[in-house]
Structure 1
Amino acid sequence: MNRFLFGLLALSSASIFAQSPQKSPTPLTVETIMQDPKLWVGTSPSNPFWSDDSRTLYFNWNPDKAKGDSLYKVTLNKTTGRSSRASVLTASQPQKVSPAERRLLATPPVSAYNRAYTQRLFDRQGDLFLIDLKSGSTRQLTNTVETESDPVFSGDQQQAVFRRGSNLYSIDLKSGLIAQLTDFQTGAKKAEPKLTDEEKFLKKDQLRLSSVLTERKEKKDEADRISKADRPKRPKEIYLDDRTVVNPQLSPDGHFVTYRLTKRATNAKTTQVPNYITESGYTEDISSRTKVGAPVASQEFFVYDMAKDTVRAVSVKDIPGITDKPAYLQPARNAKPDTAKKMRPVTIGGPVWSDDGKLCVVVIKSLDNKDRWIMRFQPETLKLSLLDRQHDDAWIGGPGVSSFNSTGNMNFLADNQTLWFQSEADGYSHIYTVNVLTGEKKQLTSGKFEVQQVVLSKDKTTFFLQTNEVHPGEQHFYRMPVTGGQRKRLTTLTGANDVTLSPDETRMAIRYSSSTQPWELYVLDVSQQSVGSGRKQAPQAGTPQTAGTATKLTNSLTDAFKAYAWREPTIVTIPARDGQPIYARLYKPANAESGRGKAVVFVHGAGYLQNAHKWWSQYSREYMFHNLLVEKGYTVLDIDYRGSAGYGRDWRTGIYRHMGGKDLEDHVDAAKWLVQTQGVDAKRIGLYGGSYGGFITLMAMFTTPDVFKAGAALRPVTDWAAYNHPYTANILNEPQTDSLAYQRSSPINFAEGLTGYLLICHGMVDTNVHFQDAVRLAQRLIELKKENWELAPYPVEDHGFVEPTSWMDEYKRILKLFEERL
């Protein structure tokens, strides 16, 4: 949910004392920090992708400060140095791609290659194309008004299989013949009119009495039979009624089509968000979302047997544990046992096929998200065989693990029998393999770190991995044999290294940032990488590459931004009351007075997100605001509390059934640490944050008023029963089945505890956390006769603010709150 649902960042580095910056030319102001970032900071490059020949790198960029980003390119070449046989990778200056060239570009490479990697299918502006990777020539396959999409090669590599509307089609790559493979029809099949008993009698009697009518009927029936026999075979008409087709997929042998049908719950009420500032001058409603606990869509998985012209639903009744009740619903020890066996609803993702088309697997997830089953699936018999079950009494998640309706990271290796996948079975997201025929499982990576991204090499001998094993706050890129073993580190710069491999897997485009420098784009030859150790500094743009050194391609920062000496936060670990280390960013003024200092604690949003790391923060405005606070003598702390990303399963699920429990305790423990170790006055601590950060701020001000004197809650959830289903039901279950979890997790229930000073800021057209949350809390505070609070509404803002004037107003209010109250 913007600051709520986005997240896989990681942590930061650690000297024991904060770095003292050189004095900047001019102090920071809220107006400076909150202005349009492209005018003040610059625009970082994004969305890099390679040409098919791996020689040109494309990316979005906006060095001209235009209204929107443009597409740029850099051409790369290898040259041999005069004094060395070693080749050097050189790059042209970034060039803006012309509109004419951009329209002719193949879309970024995806998985639609043939098995030899000599051809690739892609769609552009609703039509299909085939590119020959050796010659670079492109052939257009369709030119229609209708939209064709999602092309893949058939199992025999002779056809392109694609979607048009809800249906699957194929096009023969030699003849160009297009064939329709499915015939999904909206609505219900029209039933043949049924004759009454009287009409049946009269018809039969007429045929008995008239030989002419009998002969004519026989001739017509024979003609219909011949016509039907001569008619070309068409796919079976499959009527959808009020359901929707999801992920129709042709099996490699061309015999089966698998698909999922979803039916929207008709009794799920949708929230309407009123929009007051409109072009029409009238208040207009924005259709938003349902609330947690509302009925969800039902789902079924089907197999269409094309040869037999039959459709069959896949039964899940025999899946191990399908009738298990979640732990929170288990009866108490002395209670009467519930013997009812009710199947939990599930969704089936996939299938994933081996290259030879002989084996496939599906991923089945319970809709309560407490179980994930990886199962072999045999479409000819509909048989499901268990390969792996991951269960969590809280909820299934973590990097690379299947999200709703998807398989997560997995594929077959070269032997066409071994499936690799990711799982948090040991507490951290790691890579596992399972032999689909024998069921033998093996864990390939292990340790107290996360495998955050996985790419299987084209020859299926190597994994390319992104992990945070060096430090929770660093992201590095590795390669490892598919059999496991030693990983070779390919990146060296301290911070985040977001890698996009070239199609030939010889070059890495690296989006890199440090804690004080926004993202820039680099390129490195994989063969020239160097593992190295210790801190590596980023090179300047245009610097020739030597072995192991990345070439910088972009310079995005403005002179004004570079003129300020941005503080590098110190990464510290704070002991929580249960002994766990809390990673945090610490910003400390150089002249902090022992025992008298004022402090602000920032609470990041999303819940499952990471901000105490060594790269440029997703909260860039907040990072700059923290520098302003340090200028004014504040100590600032930003912690990765319980529920944050980057630290494994137990940290992720530490908030199960009680948001505002351990996550708030971590903030209280951090505040005490500031007092005990950083010279902070216990009566001069404030906190603020947006979305989940706003929620924690409310819980802190209402339930621990002796710890925090002032707080700013931005776009906060005030009652979790009013938030959405996918996020909330994972953590708190459903309000109608786990009312206790909602009661103790919702700040509105504890508003009577407010004694400090509270600022609430909320966008009025927020379609994520509705403005209604703030309005309901305001009424509660009024009825409680509280006077030390205020609500600032922002009429044109959604969950993530857009207008610089809104940002300025919000943060002036936050600064005023802290200056007056701390």
Structure 2
Amino acid sequence: MQLKQKAVALMAFLLLGSNALVAQNDKTDLSVEKIMRDPKWIGTPPGNVFWSEDGKKVYFSWNPDGNRQDSLYSVNADGKNLQKVSAKDRRSLPAQRGEYNRAETKKVYEKNGDIFLYDIKSGKAQQVTNTVERETSPAFSQDEQKVVYMKDNNLYAWSISKGQTEQLTDFRKGRKPAEEGENAQRDWLKEQQLSLLQIVRERKQDKEAAEKQQKLEAPDRPKEIYVEDKVVNSVTLGPNERFITYQLISRPKNANVAIVPNFVTESGYTEDIKTRTKVGDAQNTYEFFVYDTQRDSAYAVKMNDVEGIYDQPAYLLQQEAKASASASAADSKTKKPEARATAIYGPYWSENGKHAVVVARSADNKDRWILKLDPATAKLTLLDRQRDEAWINGPGIGYGPGEIGWMPDNKSVWFHSEESGYSHLYTVNVNSGKKKALTSGKYEVSDVRMSDDKKHFYFTANKVHPGEKHFYRMPVNGGEMVQLTSMAGAHEVELSPDEKHLAIRYSYSNKPWELYVMDNKKNAKPKQVTNSLTEEFKSYDWREPEVITFKAEDGADVHARLYRPAKPEQNGPAVVFVHGAGYLQNAHKWWSSYFREYMFHNFLADQGYTVLDIDYRGSAGYGRDVRTGIYQFMGGKDLSDHVDGARHLVEKYNVDPKRIGIYGGSYGGFITLMAMFTEPDVFAAGAALRSVTDWAHYNHGYTSNILNTPYTDSTAYAKSSPIYYAEGLKGALLICHGMVDTNVHFQDVVRLTQRLIELGKDNWELAVYPVEDHGFTEPASWTDEYKRIFKLFEENLKEKK
């Protein structure tokens, strides 16, 4: 009996050990279902990092327990005392965003639609407003005796010492009421009444006397400024409170807004979602004004005399030259140049209040000007002009005013420019116009801020490697760049208010983001605060993709991530991944925003695939020439980079040229379609997800910069749109699209579907996702989509056995 019990126990132990081994293997093996679950299975990284106003604590959002929502946590500046913040303490915190006085002893901010004044030393907040209406955009006046803010599109000032509120502007919708002399017929009738009827004359005299008395007794009020149906924006009070500047935005009345139908709704009815216009449709226009309170007068700031305002883009000049050459002398007419539409941002006042600069952008995005503004005369003086026949952009520049600020001398401003081919830091003197480069080299500078003592700049740069982001300190007038962070990867840094400590969100290519704290010193050792990853995620040996460089056909260097099987097959299969967004970087050394795709690439490598993830022409991180390499031809160099990448796989990594697939989403889906339609002998199979199929149907802001507009540059659109090339399809194509995609509309793929049907193509399939927008949110949708992608590759890239 005893032997029998021992045998049973031994059998149970063996079974338990066997099951534990199976469970461990299941735990480490990847599957599409496992990868595409709710991302909480990985662990939730810390985010939204900010310092307490006294610099003693770091706050951040975190969810180590896998709850439905993140909680707020805090840790001391030395990395000790990590704890969850109570709901009561969380509510009492001042808003993260706000404006400080020059000594940084006080802060004004908006919270829940009201304005607060926070004393940093005492930690107490004074509520400035408590109204049903929303007050926004609080700031200190130049003398720091008032808090100015916006309410109902008007500017108000609250006196800190007196507690008195004053309205500074009186913007009114509609047109100004007609005055005498503006309508001859009405004026004639009025004069007739006055001449014929005594009672009318007497009442008019009484009314005028009362109005005169009322005006004498009434306090001073701001000028009534009628804005018709325009939107008031960027209202700014000048240093001596004489000048108020503002922007007026005119919304187009005839713009046609695309509709996206939503089929799966709570009501049971199909509901329409209004989205956006299409590229080339009517867009907003902008005007910039100065209101001189001393003269009680408002007047426009015009760009008419600014250098380059009449310069048309090169592509239009080329078209005009061709048209002139083909026209007869009699038909040829000299067209008077028109000033291009612009938007003016600012002004940005020097700390001493003596100078103001504005940034102007042309609507065609070919020019960015930095200009000195004389508010009394509305005169603009050119300080710097950046011209790009493709389009203006880059780190610190963007599509708006970009990063800009004043130097300690109150005579120069700092700003970004891609003049050298890379986004670098420059200064220009507002009196002499002398410009100076503070940084230079084949790297990019971003996220610039000046130290409180105005002796140093802090910024992020990818100087070490295009795929690494480090934090630097540099003397304010240029000089040695001191690298403060050292770990390979990326660092998102928040500097403490006293500038003694750094709060760092850091990640590496196979390690998701974690929070670290560190002293603000070179070679200081960072201390890890959070450990967010689950045991399940850590149980798999995630690959560290190799960041490689290969030569494109035109000689350009192309960076990419490479994933390889543990034992690569001779003449094995490969998959090329195309990241989305166009202007985005993914061949880097930090945790990718494409984390699902990263895990999928590990899974593919486990299944014997070599995976290449390319930063093609148009990607971020490599300077102006790479960024603009797709101008007037999307599907040109960006696609040829992938063709060259496929060739590189064959030549160096023993990949079978007949067994290469390609996939990607959004811009990546577009490139996939172009690859399958125009390079059918290179790619045997492709999965195009949420793809643009015709750029004439995408939005204006993104597309017009790269391809201009369909009616002015139709050739660029025809060259760049997959729908024109659908007849070239040979390999197997999978198309996946969300039906409520408000970015790349479902209509895009419907039109392509009809085109494929009419062409008689039968080697393609369409998978639709009824509840998904552009970025999928449901794990079931992710799982279904990627199971289809994997099946596509298995059936078309693996050798049949």
TM-score bracket, shorter-length normalisation: over 0.9
Question: Of 85, 88, 91, which residue of structure 2 is paired with 1:97?
Answer: 85
- Paired amino acid for 1:390: Q
Aligned partner of 1:390 in structure 2 is 386
- Paired amino acid for 2:616: Y
Deviation of the 1:137 alpha carbon: 2.4
Question: Of 383, 407, 416, which residue of structure 2 is paired with 1:413?
Answer: 407
C-alpha offsets along residues 729-759 of structure 1, whole Å, 9 cap, x if unaligned?
A: 0000000000000000000000000000000
Deviation of the 1:297 alpha carbon: 1.1
- Distance in 2 between the 1:402 and 1:29 partners? 39
- Paired amino acid for 2:408: A
C-alpha offsets along residues 771-801 of structure 1, whole Å, 9 cap, x if unaligned?
A: 1111110110000000000000000000000
Aligned partner of 1:72 in structure 2 is 73
Q: Secondary structure at the match of 1:356?
A: coil
| Aligned-pair identity (%) | 58
Contact 2:79 2:517 in 1 (8 A): no
C-alpha offsets along residues 338-384 of structure 1, whole Å, 9 cap, x if unaligned?
A: 54211110000111110111101001110000000100001101000
In structure 2, the CA distance between the partners of 1:474 and 1:204, relative to structure 1 (3 Å rule), is same
Q: Secondary structure at the match of 1:331?
A: helix
Question: Of 146, 151, 157, which residue of structure 1 is paired with 2:144?
Answer: 157
Aligned partner of 1:119 in structure 2 is 106
In structure 2, the CA distance between the partners of 1:737 and 1:214, relative to structure 1 (3 Å rule), is closer
Contact 1:456 1:463 in 2 (8 A): yes
Aligned partner of 2:16 in structure 1 is none
* Matching of residue 693 in structure 1 with residue 668 in structure 2: yes
In structure 2, the CA distance between the partners of 1:521 and 1:196, relative to structure 1 (3 Å rule), is closer
In structure 2, the CA distance between the partners of 1:213 and 1:492, relative to structure 1 (3 Å rule), is closer
Question: Of 519, 535, 557, which residue of structure 1 is paired with 2:533?
Answer: 557
Deviation of the 1:26 alpha carbon: 3.1
Q: Secondary structure at the match of 2:630?
A: coil
- Distance in 2 between the 1:774 and 1:354 partners? 52
- Distance in 1 between the 2:642 and 2:527 partners? 41
C-alpha offsets along residues 565-615 of structure 1, whole Å, 9 cap, x if unaligned?
A: 001101110110111111010111121123x21000000000000000000
- Distance in 1 between the 2:191 and 2:601 partners? 89
* Matching of residue 655 in structure 1 with residue 630 in structure 2: yes
Q: Secondary structure at the match of 1:781?
A: helix
- Paired amino acid for 1:640: D
Aligned partner of 2:240 in structure 1 is 253
Contact 2:246 2:290 in 1 (8 A): yes
- Distance in 2 between the 1:632 and 1:525 partners? 45
- Paired amino acid for 2:146: Q
* Matching of residue 350 in structure 1 with residue 346 in structure 2: yes
- Distance in 1 between the 2:723 and 2:206 partners? 79
- Distance in 2 between the 1:196 and 1:382 partners? 36
Contact 1:24 1:565 in 2 (8 A): no
- Distance in 2 between the 1:788 and 1:168 partners? 62
- Paired amino acid for 2:442: K
Aligned partner of 1:590 in structure 2 is 566
Contact 1:759 1:791 in 2 (8 A): yes
Aligned partner of 1:802 in structure 2 is 777
In structure 2, the CA distance between the partners of 1:463 and 1:215, relative to structure 1 (3 Å rule), is same
Aligned partner of 1:56 in structure 2 is 57
Aligned partner of 1:771 in structure 2 is 746
Aligned partner of 1:362 in structure 2 is 358
In structure 2, the CA distance between the partners of 1:219 and 1:810, relative to structure 1 (3 Å rule), is closer
* Matching of residue 816 in structure 1 with residue 791 in structure 2: yes
Q: Secondary structure at the match of 2:318?
A: coil
- Distance in 2 between the 1:354 and 1:23 partners? 64
Question: Of 284, 293, 296, which residue of structure 1 is paired with 2:280?
Answer: 293
Deviation of the 1:173 alpha carbon: 0.1
> 1:208-357 counterparts in 2 under 5 A?
217-331=204-318, 335-336=324-325, 338-357=334-353
Question: Of 610, 626, 629, which residue of structure 2 is paired with 1:635?
Answer: 610
* Matching of residue 376 in structure 1 with residue 372 in structure 2: yes
- Paired amino acid for 2:348: V
- Distance in 1 between the 2:473 and 2:455 partners? 10
Aligned partner of 1:17 in structure 2 is none
- The RMSD of aligned alpha carbons is 1.6
- Distance in 1 between the 2:425 and 2:438 partners? 5
- Distance in 2 between the 1:811 and 1:494 partners? 31
Aligned partner of 1:525 in structure 2 is 519
Contact 2:470 2:484 in 1 (8 A): yes
> 1:663-674 counterparts in 2 under 5 A?
663-674=638-649
Q: Choose 231-240 or 266-275, whichever is displaced more.
A: 231-240
Q: Choose 123-132 or 504-513, whichever is displaced more.
A: 123-132
Aligned partner of 2:12 in structure 1 is none
- Paired amino acid for 2:52: S
- Paired amino acid for 2:435: K
Q: Secondary structure at the match of 2:249?
A: strand
- Distance in 2 between the 1:376 and 1:202 partners? 53
C-alpha offsets along residues 217-275 of structure 1, whole Å, 9 cap, x if unaligned?
A: 54543332122122111111111211101111111110111111111111110000000
- Distance in 1 between the 2:712 and 2:348 partners? 35
Contact 1:360 1:377 in 2 (8 A): yes
Contact 1:430 1:450 in 2 (8 A): yes
Q: Secondary structure at the match of 1:304?
A: strand
* Matching of residue 203 in structure 1 with residue 193 in structure 2: yes
- Distance in 2 between the 1:122 and 1:767 partners? 33
- Distance in 2 between the 1:217 and 1:148 partners? 41
- Paired amino acid for 1:500: E
- Distance in 1 between the 2:272 and 2:207 partners? 59
Q: Which has the higher contact order (CA 8 A, sep 6+)?
A: 1
- Normalised to the residue count of structure 1, the TM-score between the two structures is 0.91
Aligned partner of 2:653 in structure 1 is 678
Question: Of 76, 94, 98, which residue of structure 2 is paired with 1:106?
Answer: 94
Q: Choose 251-260 or 795-804, whichever is displaced more.
A: 251-260
- Distance in 2 between the 1:24 and 1:601 partners? 28
Aligned partner of 1:433 in structure 2 is 427
Aligned partner of 2:19 in structure 1 is none
* Matching of residue 493 in structure 1 with residue 487 in structure 2: yes
Contact 1:33 1:624 in 2 (8 A): yes
Aligned partner of 1:609 in structure 2 is 584
Question: Of 527, 539, 546, which residue of structure 2 is paired with 1:570?
Answer: 546
Deviation of the 1:198 alpha carbon: 5.7
Deviation of the 1:144 alpha carbon: 1.6
In structure 2, the CA distance between the partners of 1:455 and 1:684, relative to structure 1 (3 Å rule), is same
Deviation of the 1:147 alpha carbon: 1.3
**Aligned residues, how many?**
762
Question: Of 671, 689, 694, which residue of structure 2 is paired with 1:714?
Answer: 689
In structure 2, the CA distance between the partners of 1:685 and 1:222, relative to structure 1 (3 Å rule), is same
Q: Secondary structure at the match of 1:442?
A: strand
Deviation of the 1:457 alpha carbon: 1.0
Where does the alignment leave 5 or more consecutive residues of structure 2 unmatched?
A: 1-23, 326-331
In structure 2, the CA distance between the partners of 1:24 and 1:570, relative to structure 1 (3 Å rule), is farther
- Paired amino acid for 1:463: F
> 1:446-525 counterparts in 2 under 5 A?
446-525=440-519
Q: Choose 562-571 or 123-132, whichever is displaced more.
A: 123-132
Deviation of the 1:214 alpha carbon: 5.8
Where does the alignment leave 5 or more consecutive residues of structure 1 unmatched?
A: 1-21, 77-88, 531-547
Deviation of the 1:321 alpha carbon: 1.1
- Normalised to the residue count of structure 2, the TM-score between the two structures is 0.93
Contact 2:356 2:373 in 1 (8 A): yes
In structure 2, the CA distance between the partners of 1:27 and 1:214, relative to structure 1 (3 Å rule), is closer
* Matching of residue 29 in structure 1 with residue 38 in structure 2: no
- Paired amino acid for 2:218: R
- Paired amino acid for 2:189: E
